[in-house]
Chains A and B, each alone.
Chain A
Amino acid sequence: MSESGTDYGGRGTRDASIVNPRGGGRLRAAHRTGGPAPQVADAPFLEGRAMTGGYGKGPDILHDCTVSVNAGEIAVIVGPNGAGKSTAMKAIFGMLDLREGAVILDGRDITALSPQDRVAAGMGFVPQTSNIFTSLSVEENLEMGAFIRRDDIRPTMEQVYDLFPILREKRRQMAGELSGGQRQQVAVGRALMTRPKVLMLDEPTAGVSPIVMDELFDRIIEVARTGLPVLMVEQNARQALEIADRGYVLVQGRNGFSGTGQELLADPEVRKSFLGG
């Protein structure tokens, strides 16, 4: 069955006095079964290789799309609306069926793992929306981020607080009461709590003011400097490419242009088509 409102014409499904329409699970893992991850030699740290696929039985959204990030680098996926940027990110995270291609993390083929297993394998993922527990305190959000860990999480939490000092100040406050920029910091902090090997951000600056956006980018650079590779999807192409070691311009689910951030910024065609001249 599907999103609320589509069954039975949506009658009764929105009556919150009998059903709870909030916070329900929408996440659907790709229909694959897990297995031992084969070793893959000679690949970037994280690579979605020649990915082709779409949601469920729907049409393909990605066509032979390759995205990768090397250790200690920032890779950015940009492109026009509907180009499949977020879809590429979700494909790497195992949320849609790949008909062809593979996902490789740290030399292991993880194409067969579910999203949860990929978290355990070292992927930190920050979704674009609903990326924090609004009714939990900031500290509880971080604790839940580290749920799969059984060791002492205090040092990691201190690192997150050092990275985002405002969160230390507001750690007892409900995360839902924070401003947009602070919420994004909570979201990134939550993902960092698993001590991931790679951080994936889906439009971290969506809906925040330009000043907050600059600050968030600064923090993301700081995260990358600690040696953690960052792969992100960005709507603000120019700013994102400026901080990117690698950039991918997707066009209709295909690799349009790729290169270092500076190369793409200098490319006249990319400038004309995607950066507004």
Chain B
Amino acid sequence: MDLLNAVVALSNFVLIPAIAYGSQLALGALGVTLVYGILRFSNFAHGDTMAIGTMVTVLFTWWFQSMGLSLGPVPTALLALPFGIAGCALLLLGTDRLVYRFYRAQKANPVILVIVSMGVMFIYNGITRIVIGPDDQRFADGARFLISVGDFRKATGLEEGLAIRTTQAVTVVTAVIVVAALFWFLNRTRTGKSMRAFSDNEDLALLSGISPERVVTVTWLLVAGLATIAGVLYGLDKSFKPFTYFQLLLPIFAAAIVGGLGSPLGAIAGGFVIAFSEVTVTYAWKKVLGYLTPDGWEPDGLVQLLSTDYKFAVSFMILVVVLLFRPTGLFRGKSV
């Protein structure tokens, strides 16, 4: 039995990666939940919105890198992030003017907007592939580790190492700041309150003098910010590949629905539920169990419940179970 080493191994391979991944999903799910709450449809283009925002950020990052700009140990991408958000915002507002506004003016049934968003998804998909190509792109730079395995071993004298990558630290810090700012905005500012009022009761909002077009514009701006930040953080942590971003749609929607669609707090909780489930189910527990069990009891197999190839099945299973047994989600969102 070696509890300390077990905890360190668990943190290194499960807790820290899941917290980082959970933060990324939470930011993605917040964007989905905002569109659902205010524009009243599930935005299937969200994954590709993230891809486009990230693509713009990557292009700016490369440009900055070529000019020799850098933030020292912190990734240059953070410097390019505002430009990525601006690019994404322009695209979303343009799409709204050209596509969504037409249906809104007709008071189209939201299910029509769901299908429309699917069309938008294909267009975004194509734009990303034309501009940057379908391949994997790496754009992370700066210091690779905040704490490296070697340093940790040296400092603690433990057999197991623990590493915290810079990108993981950046992810968590950024997510905390963004979420705090978003909640402050929604609960404390006049515009934020008017967005919640619009989401609650569109007609009454209109009679109170709240301009729907303004609410929608602010929503798209927030979505652009959230999607780009989520995408860039994910890209820094892993890598930027357009198809992966399209696939992220499933865990992000699972997170939003698990938490309760339309509930921002739920989106965050849901993000972490999905991330922790995915990582724990696909992690090979052999090492941790080896530390926890008496000598000689160490399992022979990997004790990996599911191959990482099946990680999307985890989101899907959770989605099905939640919709069956608690369709309103953990935080009583608006679904069902």
List, in ascending order, chain B residues with CB within 8 A of A190's CB.
204, 208
List, in ascending order, chain B residues with CB within 8 A of A27's CB.
202-203, 206-207
Within 8 A of A (CB), among B109-129: 109-114
Asked, given contacts A13-B111, A133-B201, A136-B196, whether A20 binds B206 with beta carbons under 8 Å apart, the answer is: no
A26 x B114 contact (CB < 8 A): no
Least CB distance from B253 to A in Å reads: 9
Question: In the assembly, what is the distance between CA of A250 and CA of B203, in Å?
Answer: 27
Residue of A nearest to B336 (CB): A16
Question: In the assembly, what is the distance between CA of A127 and CA of B107, in Å?
Answer: 20
List, in ascending order, chain A residues with CB within 8 A of B113's CB.
19
Identify which of A8, A13, A132 contacts B110 (C-beta below 8 A). Answer: A13
Asked, given contacts A1-B107, A4-B109, whether A148 binds B262 with beta carbons under 8 Å apart, the answer is: no
Within 8 A of B (CB), among A6-36: 7-8, 12-13, 15-28
List, in ascending order, chain B residues with CB within 8 A of A125's CB.
207
Question: In the assembly, what is the distance between CA of A120 and CA of B208, in Å?
Answer: 9
Cβ of B108 within 8 Å of any chain A Cβ, yes or no, is: yes
Residue of A nearest to B36 (CB): A20
Least CB distance from A199 to B in Å reads: 13
Least CB distance from B206 to A in Å reads: 6
Can you name 18 A-B pairs with beta carbons within 8 Å?
A1-B112, A2-B107, A7-B109, A7-B112, A17-B42, A18-B42, A19-B114, A20-B40, A21-B110, A24-B40, A25-B202, A27-B202, A135-B199, A147-B210, A148-B208, A148-B209, A190-B204, A190-B208
B204 x A133 contact (CB < 8 A): yes
Residue of A nearest to B38 (CB): A20
Asked, given contacts A25-B107, A120-B209, A190-B208, whether A19 binds B41 with beta carbons under 8 Å apart, the answer is: yes
List, in ascending order, chain B residues with CB within 8 A of A13's CB.
109-111
B206 x A116 contact (CB < 8 A): yes
Cβ of B37 within 8 Å of any chain A Cβ, yes or no, is: yes
Cβ of B106 within 8 Å of any chain A Cβ, yes or no, is: yes
Cβ of B194 within 8 Å of any chain A Cβ, yes or no, is: yes
Residue of B nearest to A191 (CB): B207
Question: In the assembly, what is the distance between CA of A25 and CA of B39, in Å?
Answer: 11
Asked, given contacts A20-B261, A116-B206, A147-B208, whether A133 binds B197 with beta carbons under 8 Å apart, the answer is: yes
Number of CB contacts from chain A to chain B under 8 A: 128
B107 x A135 contact (CB < 8 A): no
Identify which of A17, A131, A136, A140 contacts B336 (C-beta below 8 A). Answer: A17
List, in ascending order, chain B residues with CB within 8 A of A143's CB.
190, 193
List, in ascending order, chain A residues with CB within 8 A of B108's CB.
1
Asked, given contacts A1-B108, A17-B336, whether A136 binds B194 with beta carbons under 8 Å apart, the answer is: no
List, in ascending order, chain A residues with CB within 8 A of B203's CB.
25-27, 127, 130
List, in ascending order, chain B residues with CB within 8 A of A194's CB.
209
Question: In the assembly, what is the distance between CA of A147 and CA of B209, in Å?
Answer: 6
Interface residue count for A (Cβ, 8 Å)?
Answer: 42
Interface residue count for B (Cβ, 8 Å)?
Answer: 40
Binding site for B on A (CB under 8 A): 1-2, 4, 7-8, 12-13, 15-28, 115-116, 119-120, 125, 127, 130-136, 140, 143-145, 147-148, 190, 194
List, in ascending order, chain A residues with CB within 8 A of B201's CB.
23, 130, 132-134
User: Which of A4, A15, A25, A136 has the most C-beta atoms of chain B within 10 angstroms of its own C-beta?
Assistant: A25
Least CB distance from A96 to B in Å reads: 14
Cβ of B257 within 8 Å of any chain A Cβ, yes or no, is: yes
Binding site for A on B (CB under 8 A): 36-37, 40-42, 106-114, 190, 193-194, 196-197, 199-210, 212, 257, 261-262, 323, 327, 334-336
Question: In the assembly, what is the distance between CA of A8 and CA of B112, in Å?
Answer: 10
List, in ascending order, chain A residues with CB within 8 A of B197's CB.
133, 136, 140, 144
User: Which of A1, A17, A133 has the most C-beta atoms of chain B within 10 angstroms of its own C-beta?
Assistant: A17
**Binding site secondary structure of chain A:** loop
Question: In the assembly, what is the distance between CA of A143 and CA of B190, in Å?
Answer: 9
List, in ascending order, chain A residues with CB within 8 A of B114's CB.
18-19
List, in ascending order, chain B residues with CB within 8 A of A145's CB.
208
Question: In the assembly, what is the distance between CA of A12 and CA of B262, in Å?
Answer: 18
Least CB distance from A251 to B in Å reads: 29
List, in ascending order, chain B residues with CB within 8 A of A119's CB.
207-209
Asked, given contacts A18-B111, A133-B197, whether A144 binds B336 with beta carbons under 8 Å apart, the answer is: no
Residue of B nearest to A22 (CB): B334
Question: In the assembly, what is the distance between CA of A22 and CA of B113, in Å?
Answer: 15
- List the 5 shortest-distance A-B pairs measured between CB atoms, nearest first: A148-B209, A25-B202, A19-B110, A20-B40, A27-B203
Asked, given contacts A136-B196, A144-B194, whether A16 binds B204 with beta carbons under 8 Å apart, the answer is: no
Residue of B nearest to A11 (CB): B111
Least CB distance from B190 to A in Å reads: 8
Residue of B nearest to A123 (CB): B207
A134 x B200 contact (CB < 8 A): yes
Question: In the assembly, what is the distance between CA of A87 and CA of B193, in Å?
Answer: 31
B208 x A144 contact (CB < 8 A): yes
Least CB distance from A252 to B in Å reads: 27
B111 x A12 contact (CB < 8 A): yes
Identify which of A1, A17, A116, A148 contacts B327 (C-beta below 8 A). Answer: A17
Identify which of A21, A24, A144 contacts B193 (C-beta below 8 A). Answer: A144
Question: In the assembly, what is the distance between CA of A145 and CA of B204, in Å?
Answer: 9
Question: In the assembly, what is the distance between CA of A24 and CA of B334, in Å?
Answer: 12
Asked, given contacts A20-B37, A23-B201, A143-B193, whether A116 binds B207 with beta carbons under 8 Å apart, the answer is: yes
